[in-house]
Each structure stands twice: as C-alpha cells, then as structure tokens.
Amino acid sequence: MEWTRRRVVGTTAAVAAIAGCLGEDGNDADPDSSNGANGSAESDGSDGADESNETTERNASAALEEVDLEDHTGEEEVTITVDPEGGGFEPAAFEIDPETLLVWRWEGSSTEPYPIDIPERCIWDQEVDEETVEERSSGDEFDRLFTVPGAYRYGSRDADGEEFTGGFRVVESGENDGE
C-alpha cells in the first residue's frame, strides 16, 4: 500500500474518530444488540406498506437485503459521491472489507453523513446524529475507516431538509457476498 500524505492524514483522523468501531471477534450477530443491525426486522416485500418500508429503510440489514450490493471488497479506498439533487449517494449500497477507507465527496450541499443503524460496537464520531452533523458543500470531502463487520445504514439531509440514505456492509475476512 502506498502511504501518501492524504492517506496518512485521513487514516489517522478516521482511526481517532472511530476508535469505538474496533471489535474483538467481528461477529455481526451480537445477541446483545438492540439496534437492529443483525437483521431482526421482517419484510414481506410488499410495496405500498408504509410501516414495512419505514422499517426496511431504517434497518441496515433489512435495507441491504433489498438491493444488489456493489462489490468493493479488495479495495483500500472507496469514494462515494454525494449529490443530493442527483439521487443522493453513489454508490448507494456496497460491501467492503474491514480497514477500507470510505471517502465521501460532495457535488452539492447537504449535511455530513450520520448513522441511522450501525453495529453496536461501532461509534460513529462520538455518537453524532442527524441533528449535530455539519453542513458540507460542493468540493468538500469527508472520510472514515470502518473496521467492525456488519451492516451500516447512514443518511444525509439536503438543503431543504429532505433525508437521503445509503448503506454498506463490512464483510468478515474471507466472506463472499453470497450470505
């Protein structure tokens, strides 16, 4: 791996910001988890059921089961374009290996990404939520390193306050996308 100044600074900042995301065994099926990250929500796949769609939208595992994940395993860094006027996050749903640096790059104005549903052992920037995130504008970048395997659902709000969401799965070493 080539250690450029950007990578060193980004990795150092990301590690400091998510020190709570370091887990011992990386098992996503944590029986003590109460945040739904292990897929406890049920979805019957029906369209038009607002309550079911809301549950799927907020639950990381359920939401990721509903979409085809782009495979970004084996990559050291993945860039996510943030375009609130052009569909939100691109890619919107993907999977990565632990220790992959995610870089969000803005093409419009919105908030920083905030956690909606993440593995219990992960702390996303000291418990930041949708009310405490900073505003970003076109050209800005934000990065974070993820080490805890599991399903992650995150969101952002555009200038009008409308939420858009994205998600990803950090796979365990040796895990393929066919769960």
pTM over 0.85: no
Partnered with residue 157 across adjacent β-strands are 163
pLDDT value of position 120: 87
- pLDDT, position 30: 36
pLDDT in tens, the chain (179 residues): 454 444 444 444 443 333 335 433 333 333 333 333 333 233 333 334 444 444 556 788 888 888 999 999 999 999 999 999 888 999 999 999 999 999 999 999 999 999 999 998 887 776 677 788 889 999 999 999 999 999 999 999 998 989 999 999 999 876 554 44
- E strand or H helix at 136, and its extent? strand 135-136
Residues 97, 135 contacting (CB under 8 angstroms): no
pLDDT at 130: 77
Pair type for strands 77-83 and 88-90 = antiparallel
**Which secondary-structure segment (H or E) carries 23?**
none
Identify any residues that bridge with 173 across adjacent strands, giving them in sequence order: none
Domains of the chain, start order: 5-21+50-170 (2.60.40.420)
The pLDDT value given to residue 38? 30
- The pLDDT value recorded for residue 170 is 95
